[in-house]
Amino acid sequence: MSVHVVADTADKISCLRALLQERHAVTSELLDGPGGQHGEADAIVVAADLRSVENIAVLKELSGKISHIAKRIFLVDQKARLLIVQAYALGATRVLDAAVRQAELLVHLADRSPCEISSKDSLHNAHEAASAGAISIGSMFSAVLSGKPIDVRGAKGAGDRIAESIAADGLSSWLETVRRHHEGTYQHCLLVTGIATDFGLSLGLAKRDLERLSSAAVFHDIGKARIPLAILDKPGRLDAGERALIETHPAAGWEVLKGSAGISPEILDAVRHHHEYLDGSGYPDGLCAASISDIVRILTISDIFSALIEHRTYSPTMSRERAYEILQGMHGKLEMPLVAAFRDVALNR
Q: Where are the domains of the chain?
A: 2-116, 119-347
Tell me if domain 2-116 and domain 119-347 are identical in fold.
no
What's the CA gap between 126 and 12, in Å, rounded? 33
3 contacts 24 by C-beta, under 8 angstroms: yes
- Would you tell me how many other CB atoms lie within 10 Å of the CB of residue 155? 23
Task: Tell me the CB-side half-sphere exposure of residue 3, using CA atoms within 13 A.
Answer: 26
Given a contact cutoff of 8 angstroms between Cβ atoms, the answer to whether 52 and 8 are in contact is yes
- Distance (Å, whole) CA 200 – CA 209: 8
Residue 155 · residue 219 · CB < 8 Å: yes
Chain segment 119-157, per-residue pLDDT in tens: 455 556 777 788 778 888 888 888 888 888 898 988 888
**Rounded CA gap, 51 and 96, in Å?**
16
Beta-carbon contacts of 177 under 8 Å, excluding residues fewer than 6 positions away, are: 123, 126, 127, 130
Distance of CA 120 to the CA centre of its chain: 20
Cis peptide bond N-terminal to 284, omega within 30: yes
CA separation for the pair 259, 255 (Å, rounded): 8
Give the chain's end-to-end CA distance (angstroms, integer): 31
225 SS3 class: helix
CA distance 55 to 25: 25
d(CA 17, CA 1) in angstroms, rounded, equals: 14
- Assess contact for 141 and 225: CB atoms under 8 A: yes
Per-residue pLDDT tens, the chain, 349 aa: give them.
Answer: 899 999 999 999 999 999 999 899 999 999 988 766 666 789 999 999 998 889 998 998 888 888 888 888 999 876 666 677 678 778 787 888 888 888 878 887 876 444 444 445 555 677 778 877 888 888 888 888 888 889 898 888 888 888 888 877 788 888 888 877 677 788 899 999 999 999 998 888 887 888 889 999 999 999 999 998 788 878 788 999 999 999 999 999 999 999 888 899 999 999 999 999 999 999 999 999 999 999 999 999 999 999 999 887 677 889 999 999 999 999 999 999 999 999 999 998 8
- Which amino acid makes up residue 149? P
Of the candidates 141, 163, 140, which has an alpha carbon nearest to the alpha carbon of residue 262?
140
> Which amino acid is it at 246?
I
Determine the topology of domain 119-347 in CATH. Answer: Hypothetical protein af1432 (1.10.3210)
CATH topology of domain 2-116: Rossmann fold (3.40.50)
The helix or strand, by DSSP H or E, that contains position 123, with its residue range, turns out to be helix 119-146
Length of the chain, please? 349
Residue 160 is classified by DSSP as H
